[in-house]
Homo-oligomer: A and B are copies of this chain.
């Protein structure tokens, strides 16, 4: 078993190699990883079975067991994801800008790999492969720290990926799993400044909070989505209903689902009763302010918690507001800067909403559920950033790179 620091050092050394790989070599290695996953489906499922067994013995809830479970089919799906990453354009080496200075220096701003990406995540073994393939394509090495409850699955997946890399003549340390079993390994990993360039925490609110509050390595905060839909005075009823149903019910456990509905008061007078009745029929539990409650029996009075937190289930908060300004103000107070939506036929209100709402993604007349890498056309993503530094919204290949300036002269010195 390797100590955490040894794993990190190995990953860093590997990152100096992966940074220089050409696109063809990277794609060949990714194809080889995909083949290896399907070829080794049996050993992966066997390792996963140990995690599943322990999970069941520990009384892990069924939805979490389902996320943990690997089958031959699921492994084939994960392998297909790796092939999709191979097919994406290589972000490394892209010239983002180029100019010549007054002194005659040629300056190129060039996209470069991040270096070592540390990933801290929960018991979803698919993240192991998704993150490893994205980081590798972006020229970085990755240090993976999944949940202890998925350790056997992750260890086998990483063994298979590393063997595939080695077969292609690429250093296997491009993909390292934290073997250190200490529960404080995460906290020590968060402080590996100088060895790790970026940490991406992916999982529940407490996992992310721990990373953000304790890391000395730069972190990109992901995930929490207390998303709102605001129905403006001029909104078309059918469109509003369609968007609200989709944003709340199409999938409930995801960060881009709607958690709070805000409705302009005149629209509410005309339509809110009907809309809330529809949501009740869809088994959505309603929490609301007094005005919302007046349109529908059984609305539970909303507390501060209802406005501030995600439900991640068939429940939503409903508030009635005087106008778009009040809606923006509510959203900027309670939102988590993920995805916010206005439904309106008034272009000025749409423009004001998009400008004034502080969020990664601000939608006009479109469901909040579109915020993800595939829907945006980036391909697979490493998470959805809710902070303003570096990357905001879905993080695809480009979002996990850095850049540098290449300055070329013919002997210039500064006067």
Task: Give chain A's interface residues, CB within 8 Å of chain B.
Answer: 16, 19-20, 99, 101-103, 105, 107, 114-115, 193, 197-198, 212-213, 216, 218-220, 236, 238-239, 242-243, 245-247, 250, 332, 350, 354-356, 358-367, 369-370, 375-377, 387-390, 392-393, 402-414
Query: Is B404 a contact partner of A360 (Cβ separation < 8 A)?
Result: yes
* A370 touching B105, Cβ below 8 Å: yes
- State which of B361, B364, B369, B409 has its C-beta within 8 Å of the C-beta of A413: B369
Contacts of A213 in B (CB 8 A): 193, 216
Residues B404 and A250 in contact, CB atoms below 8 Å apart: no
B388 touches A392 (CB 8 A): no
Q: Which residues of B contact A392 (CB under 8 A)?
A: 402-405
Query: How far, in Å, is A256 (CB) from chain B's closest CB?
Result: 9
- Distance, CA A407 to CA B106, complexed state (A): 37
Q: Residue among A107, A239, A367, A412 with the most chain B CB within 10 A?
A: A412
* A327 → B minimal CB distance (Å): 14
The oligomer's copy count stands at: 2
The distance from the CB of A64 to the nearest CB of chain B, in whole angstroms, is: 24
Smallest distance from the beta carbon of A355 to chain B beta carbons, Å?
Answer: 6
- CA–CA, A238 to B413, complex, Å? 12
Taking CB atoms, residues of chain B closer than 8 Å to A198 are 388-389
Return chain B residues, CB-CB under 8 Å to A387: 197, 218
**Which residue of chain B has the shortest Cβ distance to A341 in the bound complex?**
B407
A243 near B411 with CB under 8 A, answer: yes
**Nearest B residue (CB) for A108:** B354
A411/B101 in contact, CB under 8 A: no
Known: A16-B332, A376-B107. A407 touches B216 (CB 8 A): no
Give Cα A12 to B126, complex, Å: 39
Distance A405 CA – B356 CA, assembled complex (angstroms): 13
Chain B residue nearest to A364 in the complex (CB): B408
Residue of B nearest to A403 (CB): B392
Also in contact, A404 and B20, with CB within 8 A (given A389-B218, A411-B242): no
Q: Which residue of B lies closest to A410 (CB)?
A: B365
**Is A365 touching B409 in the complex (CB atoms < 8 A)?**
yes
Whether the pair B409, A363 counts as a contact (CB closer than 8 A) is yes
Q: Complex Cα distance A392/B197, Å?
A: 13
A375 proximity list for chain B (CB < 8 A): 101, 103, 414
Q: How far is the CA of A180 from the CA of B312 in the complex (A)?
A: 41
Cβ-defined contact, B239 with A414, below 8 A? no
Whether A361 and B403, one on each chain, are in contact in the complex, defined by CB atoms closer than 8 angstroms, is no
Determine the distance from Cα of A306 to Cα of B353 in the docked complex, in whole angstroms.
55
Chain B residue numbers with a CB within 8 Å of A245 are: 413
